[in-house]
Structure 1
C-alpha cells in the first residue's frame, strides 16, 4: 500500500511539472512580447495552479471553434467584395498629405483597400446632439439600420432611440442590433430584448459569457465597436456607448462620461458596412453583404470631401494593424501630437514612439481623465509618467468627468478617432474600429474639441509628481507588472 501511494505521489508530481512545462512551452512558442511572456511565466511559477488556469482562460486569443470556422468561410466572399469595390475607382483618393501618406499606404497594403474620398464628417461632442441626429436619421431610414455597441443601457434619452427603432421596424425597415454580452449584461437580463424583438428588431448577444466554455474561448475577448449604419450611406462611430451619461455609473465617483462621435455621410460607409457584415456573420452564421457604393452620393468630393480610411481590429483581421497604425501616426508627427484616451497602458514600442516624438521637438500632449473607473488601469497608467515627463511630454488630467474620447491628432492634418484605447486590450485583443481622416478642416474641428478638453484639465507638474509618497510608487510598479494583461 505504501508503495502504491509513493508511486501515485510521484505520478502526481510528474504530471504537475509536465503541465507547467507544457504551458511554459506554449507561452514561449507564441512569440509574444517579452514583457508579456515574462509576466505570464512569473505568474505561472509563483502561483502555479492559479497561473495555469489564468493562462488557459486568458493567455491566448481563442475565438472559439465555431466562430473561427465562420470567419474562415466568410473571408473568400469578403475578399471578392473588396476586389469588386476596387473597380469603383472614382471613390478612391490618388494622393494624400505628406503627414498622412505613410499611414494610408500601410492601410492600403495590409487591408487591400485605399483611402476613400467624397465623404463628409461631422463631430458630435455631446450625448444630446448625437441622440438628436441619430433619431432624425433613423426616422428617415428607408431600408436598413444596423448597430453594434459594447454597452446598451436603457433609460434617459436612450429610450428615444429605442422608440425610433421600433417605429422604423413597423414601417418595414430592417433593424439589426449586435451587443456585447459582457458590456450589455444588464440589458440582456432585462425585458428590453424581448420587447425589441417583438417589435421586429433583431437583437443578437455577441460573444456570450459562458464559464463552462472558458477554456474553449477567451472570455475577456469583447466586441468593443460602436457603429451605426443607415441605408448604406450614413454612419456613426466613436467612443460613445448607447447609455445616457446622466444615469450611467453614477456610483463610480468619476462624474459623467465625456465622449466624441463622428457622423459620416458618403461612400466610406460601404466599407464600414462590410466590417459589420463580418461581425454579424461571425456571430450568427448569417451572410450579409452591403450593396456597392452609390457613387452619386458624393456631393462633398469637390469642396469638403474628407479622405477616410477605416481600420478594423480583432481576431481574423490583419494582425497588429491598429498598433502599427498608431506607431506610424506618431512617427509621422513633425510639429504637434495630441492624444486623448481614458485608459493609458501603452506597449513599450508605443511609449518609445511617443517619447521619441517629444525628444525630437514635437509638441506632445496626452489628455487623461483625473479619475478613472478602472482602479487597475488608473494605477498602471501612472507607472509611465516618469518616462513621459523625462521626454518632455505634457500630461493633462481632465477634471470635468471621465474623459472617454479616443482621439489622435497629428500636425493638425491627420486624425484618428474611434473606439481604440491606448492599452493592451484595445491594441491586441478586442474588436475595435478607427477612422483615419486626412483633412485639415476636420483636423481643425478636432483640435477645437481637444483644446476644450485641455481648458477643462489640469497640467501635471513634474516637480510635484516626483514628491508623491513612496507607497504610491510601490503600488504603481505593482500594477505596472500586470500591464501586459490590461
Structure 2
C-alpha cells in the first residue's frame, strides 16, 4: 500500500511539473512583453496549483467561442463600412498637423479607420453639465438612442437619465442600452432594468460573469467604453460612467469622482455608433450598422478627429501604439491625467526619455485611490520618473478619473483609457485623437486647474518614505504588468 501511495505521489508530482512546464513554455512563446511574461512565471512557480489555474483563467485573451466566431464573421462588413469613409468629403488628410498625420497613418494600417474633420466638440467637466446635457439630447431624440457604459449606478441624476430614456421609448424612439455585467451589477439588481424593458427599451448585460463561463471566456474581460449616440448625429464619450458622483462610492473615502465627457456633432459620431454597433453584435448577434455620415461642412470651430477603438477582435495594442507615438512626437510639454497609472515598460521609457530630452512631462494622479493594488504599483514607478525630472501632481479634489493626454498644447487624446495594461491590452476601449489647437487649449485650461488643486511630489519628499513602503512597492512592481 505504501509503495502504491509513493508511486501515485511521484506520478502526481511528475504530472504537475509537466503541466507547469507546459504553461511556462506557452507563456514564453506568446512573446508578450518581458514584464508580463516574468510576472506570470513568478505566479505559476511561487503559487503551486493556484498560479496555473490563475493563468488558465486570466492569462490569455479568451473572448469565448461564440463571440470569437461572430467577430470573425463581422470583419468584412464593418471593414467595408469604415473603408467607405475614405471617400467621404470629411476625410481631408491635407488638414492634418504633423501630430495627427503619423497617428492617422498608424490607424489607417491597423484599423482602416480614417480621421475626419468638420466635427464640433464641447468639453464638459461637471456631472451636472454632463448628465443634464445628455438628458436634454435624449428629450430631443427622434429616431434612435444607443448607449453603452461600463458602470450605470442608480441614484441622483442617473435616475433622471433613466426616466428620460423611458419617455423617449414611449414616444417611439428606438433605445438600446448595453452595460457591462460586472461594472453595472447594482443596476441589474435594481428595478430599473424591468422598468426600461416594460417601456420597450432593449437592455443587455455584456460579458456576463458566472462560475460556468470562466471555463470558456476570460472573466476579467470588460466592456469599458462610454458611448452615447442620439439620432446618429449627437455623440458623447469620455471618462464618465453613467453615475451621479454624489450617489456613487461615497463610503470609499476618496471623495467624489472627477470626470469629463466630450459632446460631439459631425461625421465622427456615426463612427462611434459603428463601434457601438460592433459591441452590440458581438454580444447579441444582431447587426444594426448605422447610416454613413452626410456630407460635411467645415467651420472655424471644426475639429479633426481620429476615432481609435480597441479590444478583443481588434488589432492588439493599437491605443498603446498611438499613445507611444504621441509621446515620441512631443517637443515641449506632456500633461497626462489618469486615475490608474501602471505604465508598460515602453510607456515608462517613453516618459523618462521625453523628460531627459527636455520635454516638460507632467503626470496628474489622484492623491487617494480606490484601488490599493494600483496605488502601490503606481508608486513603484515614481523613483525612476522623479530622477528623470518628471513632475508628479497628486490631485486633492477627489478621485481624478479623467483620462487625457495633452501634447505641446496642440494635440490631445481623450477617452476611456487608463494608463495601465488592463486598458491598453485587455478591455474594450475608445479614445479620440483630437487635432485642434482651440480644443487643446480648452483641455489645457482644465488640466491646469487640476494641477492648481494638486501637490507636487518632490524627490526629497519621496526619498524620505519608510523602508516598509519601499518593500511593498517592489512586491507590487513585480506584478504591475498584470494589473
Contact 1:146–1:175 under 8 Å retained in 2: yes
1:6 is displaced (CA, Å) by: 3.5
CA shift, 1:12, in A, is 1.7
Correspondence for 1:309 among 306, 309, 312 = 306
Secondary structure (helix, strand or coil) at the match of 2:190 reads coil
**SS of 1:250 mapped into structure 2:** coil
Map 1:117-156 onto structure 2 (within 5 A): 117-156=117-156
Measured after TM superposition, the shift of residue 187 of structure 1 is 1.0
Cα deviation for residue 200 of structure 1 reads 1.0
User: How big is the alpha-carbon RMSD for the aligned residues of Structure 1 and Structure 2?
Assistant: 1.1
Structure-2 residue corresponding to 1:422: 419
- 1:320-359 aligned within 5 A: 320-359=317-356
- Report if aligned partners of 1:333, 1:362 keep a CA contact under 8 Å in 2: yes
The within-5 A match list for 1:245-260 is 245-260=245-260
C-alpha distance in 2 between matches for 1:105 and 1:23: 37
TM-score between the two structures when normalised by the length of structure 2: 0.98
Matched residue of 1:289: which SS? coil
Match status 1:435 vs 2:444: no
CA contact (8 A) 1:100 1:332 kept: no
Deviations 1:365-385 (A, max 9, x none): 110000000000011101101
Whether the 8 Å CA contact 1:91–1:118 is kept in 2: the answer is no
Does 254-263 or 90-99 show the bigger shift?
A: 90-99
1:318-358 alpha-carbon deviations (Å, 9 max, x no partner): 11101100000001100111000000000010010011111
Give the structure 2 partner of residue 397 of structure 1.
394
Residue 150 of structure 1 and its aligned partner are, at CA, apart by 0.4
Say if 1:138 and 1:168, in contact at 8 Å, map to a contact too: yes
For 2:462 and 2:76, locate their aligned partners in 1 and report how far apart those are by CA, in whole Å.
Answer: 53
Off by >6 Å, runs of 4+ in structure 1: none
Tell me, yes or no, if the aligned pair for 2:162 and 2:192 is still in contact at 8 Å. no
Moved more, 460-469 or 103-112: 103-112
Aligned mates of 2:18, 2:396 — CA distance in 1: 52
Give how far 1:269 is off: 0.6
SS in 1 for 2:109: helix
* TM-fit CA distance, 1:114: 1.9
Give how far 1:271 is off.
Answer: 1.0
Q: Residue 121 of structure 1 contacts residue 264 of structure 1 at CA under 8 Å; is this kept in 2? A: yes
How far apart are 1:90 and its partner, in Å?
4.1
Give me the whole-angstrom Cα distance separating, in 2, the residues matched to 1:422 and 1:412: 20
Q: Which runs of 5+ in 1 are unaligned?
A: none
Alpha carbons 1:91, 1:267 under 8 Å: kept: no
Alignment check: 8 A CA contact 2:142 2:231 kept: yes
For 2:91 and 2:80, the matched residues in 1 are separated by 18
Could you tell me whether the CA contact under 8 Å between 1:149 and 1:241 is conserved in 2? yes
The residue that corresponds to 2:61 in the other structure is 61
Residues 296-328 of structure 1: CA deviation (Å, up to 9, x unaligned): xx35x1311100001101111111101100000
SS of 1:123's equivalent in the other structure is strand
Aligned with 1:408 (options 377, 387, 405): 405
**Partner in structure 1 of residue 75 of structure 2:** 75
Say if 1:92 and 1:114, in contact at 8 Å, map to a contact too: no
Distance in structure 2 (CA, Å) of the matches to 1:170 and 1:350: 48
**CA offset digits 1:166-194 (Å, max 9, x no partner):** 11101111000100011011111222111
Please give the alpha-carbon distance, in whole angstroms, between the structure 2 residues aligned to 1:364 and 1:8. 59
Which deviates more, 461-470 or 394-403? 461-470
The answer to whether the 8 Å contact 1:153/1:186 transfers is yes
What secondary structure, in the 3-state scheme, does the structure 2 residue paired with 1:252 have?
coil
Structure-1 residue corresponding to 2:236: 236
Superposed CA deviations along residues 47-94 of structure 1, whole A, max 9, x for unmatched, are: 120100110111011000011011011111111212233222344443
2:222 equivalent in structure 1: 222
Find out whether 1:319 has 2:311 as its counterpart: no
Greater alpha carbon shift after TM alignment, 101-110 vs 411-420: 101-110
Give CA-to-partner distance per residue, 1:7-39, whole Å, 9 cap, x none.
323322221111111111211121111111111
In the superposition, the TM-score normalised over structure 1's length comes to: 0.97
User: Matched residues in 2 for 1:244 and 1:90: separation?
Assistant: 36
Question: Is residue 310–residue 316 contact of structure 2 (8 Å, CA) maintained in 1?
Answer: yes
- Shift in Å, 1:131: 1.0
**Distance in 1 of aligned mates of 2:101 and 2:88:** 21
- For 2:340 and 2:121, how far apart are their aligned partners in 1? 26
Residue by residue, what CA displacement relative to the aligned partner does 1:214-253 show, whole Å, maximum 9, x if unpaired?
A: 1321100100000000111110000000111011111100
The answer on 1:196 being equivalent to 2:196 is yes
Mapped pair 1:41 → 2:41: yes
Distance 2:469 2:256 in 1: 26
> What residue number does 2:186 align with?
186
Unaligned stretches of 5+ in structure 2?
A: none
Q: Which residue of 2 aligns with 1:445?
A: 442
The more displaced of 189-198 and 247-256 is 189-198
Bigger mean CA deviation after superposition, 395-404 or 26-35 = 26-35
